[in-house]
Amino acid sequence: MTSAEIRQRFISFFVKNDHLEIPSANLVARDDPSLLLVNSGMAAIKPYFTGEEKPPHKRLVDIQKCVRTEDLEEVGDPHHHTFFEMLGSWSIGDYGKKLAVELAWELLTSDEGFNLEAPKLYVTIFAGNDYIPADEETAGYWRNVGVPDEHILRLPAEDNLWVSGPTGPCGPCTEVIYDRGEKYSCGIDCNPTCNCGRFYEIWNAGVFMQYDRKSETEFDKLPFLSVDTGAGLERLAAVLQGKDSNYETDLFAPLVTEITSGLNVDSLTPRQKQSVRIVTDHLRAAFFLIADGVTPSNKQEGYVLRRLIRRAVTHQVLLKIEHKDLYFRLFKQIIDIYSDFYPEVANPGIVDILKIEHQNFLKALQRGLNVLNRELSEVTQENAGKTNIFPGEIAFEIESTYGVPLETQEELAENYGLEVDEKAYQKAYEEHQELSRKGAASKFGKVQEYAPEEIAPLHTATHLLHAALREILGVQVKQAGQSLTPERLRFDFTFERKLTREEIEKVESLVNGKIKAGLAVIKKETTFHQAVKEGALALFREKYKEVDKVTMYQIDSFSKELCGGPHVEDTSELGCFKIVKEESVGKGIRRIKAVLEENN
C-alpha cells in the first residue's frame, strides 16, 4: 500500500464516518507562543479543545505536517524523524471511548482500511494510579471488538496518561502495537513492551481528555470528553509496506537513492548508514520548512531550519558526498512523492535557498573541522595519561561558531581516545539559550493607525504586491510584517537575497496590470478552515480567533487572503503602483516601500 493510498484511506474512512476534513496548518505555530513549530496533530487545533475557538464540526480529520527536534539525537535509527506527517482524527465533545475503539479496529483490520491481521495487534490502556482509576472501560470495548485479554496491556502513567502540562486537560490514552514477527525479536523474553524493534506502536487510537489537572495530585472531571487520535504516516507505511525501517518506504527510498548515488552502499559502516539517514531526514524537513515560508536565520524557526541544513551538510561532508546538483535531484523526487498532497513543495526557489545556505556554511564548516582536530590533538597531548575528557565548553564554542554538531565532534573525539564532557556542553548551551531568549524581538510591524478610507487603497495594494512577489519569486515568499500610512506602504517578506532591477520591474508591471484590469475586490465572511480550504493565505492565524467569523478578500484568481483591514471595491481605484525602495531588514527578510501615484 503506497503512502498516497494510506493517506487517502485514512481520510476517506473518517469522512465516511461524519468527520470533516480540515487542511494541514502551516508548520510555523503562529498562534501559540509556547511553540515555534507545529509538533503534533493537536498542536494546530488546540484552541478548539481549550474553548478559545469554535470548531467547524465536532468531528474532524486531517493529515498535519509536523516538525520535532526534541529527539534530534535519535534521528538515524529506523523510525525517528524531524519532519513527519501525523494522521489525526478528533471528537470534540461528541463521541467517546466506545466509538473511538470501534472506529480504530475497523480501520486497522477491515478490507477498506489497512487490512492488518488481528492476531498481530496489541493494545495498551492506562493501568491507573492513586489519583485516576484504571481505564477498564476502554479495555472492555477492546474485548468487545475481539481483542483477547492477553493482548490488552496495562501500562503506567508515563506511558498511557496524556497531560498537556502541569495543569490543564489530560486523560488516559490507548495505543495500538503491531508485532512485526520473530525476525525482529531481541530474545526469548521479548514482549510488546520491548524497544527492540519487533513491536511497533502504530497508532495512538485515543487520547481521552476527560480530566482537568489542577495539580500533581488533584484531578477534576471535565464537563465533556474529547478524543484525539494520531498515527505517524512514516511508521505506518513501514508496517504496511513490510519494510525494516521507515527509510525503506516509498516516502524515503527515492531520496536515499539520490543521496547515496556515487557511494558504495554495501561498504558503508553503521555510522555512515546513520549519516545517510540524517542527511535524508534533515533535507526532507528543510524542503517542507522552506515551502512554508521559513528561511535560515539565527532566530526562532529560522534557527531550527539553519541547524537542520547545517547538520545535513556536515554529514554530507563526512560521507564525502559531492554537492553538485544534489538539491535539484532531491527536489524532483520530493515533487514526485509529495506535491499531489502538498503542492507548496513544488517550488524551485527552495533549491536556491538550500544552495545558498550550503555554500555559506561549507567554508565555516571546513574551518571548524580544522579547529576541532587541532583542539583534540592539543587536549590529547596536554592530558596524556591523565584524562580522556574533551572540554564541553570548547565543543559548544566550536558548534556555535562553526556549526560542527556535537555528535560529529563526539565521533572525531573517539579517534583521539577522548570523550566530550556533555554536562559542560549542556551548561554552555543553556547559558546561550538564556541569552538568546532575552534578546528575542517581535517579528511583525504595526498596522493601521489611520482612518480606514485613508489607507484602504494601499491596504489593497499590499495584497496585490504579496501575490505578485509570490508569482515572480516563488511561493516561499511570505509576509513578515507591514506598516501603512496614507502616503506609502511598507511590506516585509521572507526572501534570501536582493531583488534584481528586472524582478522589481516585473512585480510593478504585474501589480499595475491587475490595477488596470479593474478587478472587483470581493469581501466574503466565512470560517477559518473553509477559507484555507479554498486556498486563502492566512499567515497570522492569531488574528482570527473567532473561527465562524473571518473575512476573506479575493481579487479575481490572483489574490485571496484573510484580512481584517479596509479595502477598495475595485482595483481601478488604486492609481499607479510604484516601488521606491527594496532593502534588507535582517537575515532572510526583505522590505519594499511603495506608493500609489496618480495615473497620467
**pLDDT tens-digit series, residues 162-183:** 876 677 778 899 999 999 988 8
Q: How confident is the model at residue 544 (pLDDT cuts 50, 70, 90)?
A: very low
The predicted structure's pLDDT at residue 263:
87
- For residue 174, tell me if it sits in a domain: yes
**Per-range mean pLDDT, top range of 227-241, 404-418, 471-485:** 227-241
- Compute the average pLDDT of residues 198-220: 87
Whole-Å CA distances, 538 to 286, 479, 550, 564, 583: 21, 10, 10, 11, 25
Helix (H), strand (E) at residue 21: strand 20-21
What residue type is assigned to position 566 of the chain?
A: P
What range defines the domain where residue 190 resides?
Answer: 3-248
Please tell me whether residues 384 and 498 are part of one structural domain.
Answer: no
Task: Calculate what percentage of the chain has a pLDDT beyond 70.
Answer: 92
- For residue 269, tell me if it sits in a domain: yes
Residue 502 near residue 562, CB atoms below 8 Å = no
Which of these ranges, 191-200, 348-357, 417-426, 525-534, has the smallest mean pLDDT?
525-534
Q: How confident is the model at residue 76 (pLDDT cuts 50, 70, 90)?
A: confident
Q: pLDDT tens digits, residue range 7-41?
A: 999 999 999 999 999 999 889 887 666 678 888 88
The last residue of a domain, from among 413, 438, 463: 438
The last residue of a domain, from among 223, 248, 273: 248
The predicted structure's pLDDT at residue 435:
58
Residue 45 near residue 90, CB atoms below 8 Å = yes
Angle (CA) 197 200 203, round 5°: 160
In this structure, what CATH number is given to the domain that contains residue 570?
3.30.980.10
What residue type is assigned to position 114 of the chain?
A: F
- For residue 443, tell me if it sits in a domain: no
Q: pLDDT tens digits, residue range 451-505?
A: 677 788 999 999 999 999 999 998 888 887 778 888 889 898 888 889 999 999 9
Please tell me whether residues 555 and 493 are part of one structural domain.
Answer: yes
- For residue 447, tell me if it sits in a domain: no
Q: Does residue 447 or residue 168 have the better pLDDT?
A: 168
Please tell me whether residues 292 and 223 are part of one structural domain.
Answer: no
- Compute the average pLDDT of residues 297-320: 86
Please tell me whether residues 242 and 153 are part of one structural domain.
Answer: yes
Please tell me whether residues 194 and 135 are part of one structural domain.
Answer: yes
- For residue 445, tell me if it sits in a domain: no
Please tell me whether residues 389 and 271 are part of one structural domain.
Answer: yes
**Per-range mean pLDDT, top range of 251-265, 402-416, 428-442, 478-492:** 251-265
pTM of the model: 0.68
The predicted structure's pLDDT at residue 88:
94
Please tell me whether residues 348 and 470 are part of one structural domain.
Answer: no
In this structure, what CATH number is given to the domain that contains residue 203?
3.30.930.10
Please tell me whether residues 485 and 589 are part of one structural domain.
Answer: yes
10 Å CB burial of residue 593 (0-12, 13-18, 19+) is: middle
Domains identified in the chain, total number: 3
Q: Cell numbers 537542520 label which residue?
A: 308
The last residue of a domain, from among 233, 248, 263: 248
Q: Which three cell numbers stand for residue 162?
A: 496524556
Please tell me whether residues 221 and 330 are part of one structural domain.
Answer: no
- For residue 154, tell me if it sits in a domain: yes
- For residue 446, tell me if it sits in a domain: no
* Alpha helices (H) in 123-190, listed in sequence order: 136-145, 157-160
Please tell me whether residues 160 and 258 are part of one structural domain.
Answer: no
Please tell me whether residues 287 and 318 are part of one structural domain.
Answer: yes
Q: What is the DSSP string of 525-585?
A: EE-HHHHHHTT-B---GGG---TT-EEEEEETTTEEEE--S---SBGGGS-EEEEEEEEEE
CA distance 491 to 497: 16
Please tell me whether residues 516 and 537 are part of one structural domain.
Answer: yes
Q: For the chain, give the mean pLDDT.
A: 86
- Compute the average pLDDT of residues 230-234: 94
Q: Does residue 453 or residue 445 have the better pLDDT?
A: 453
The predicted structure's pLDDT at residue 32:
67
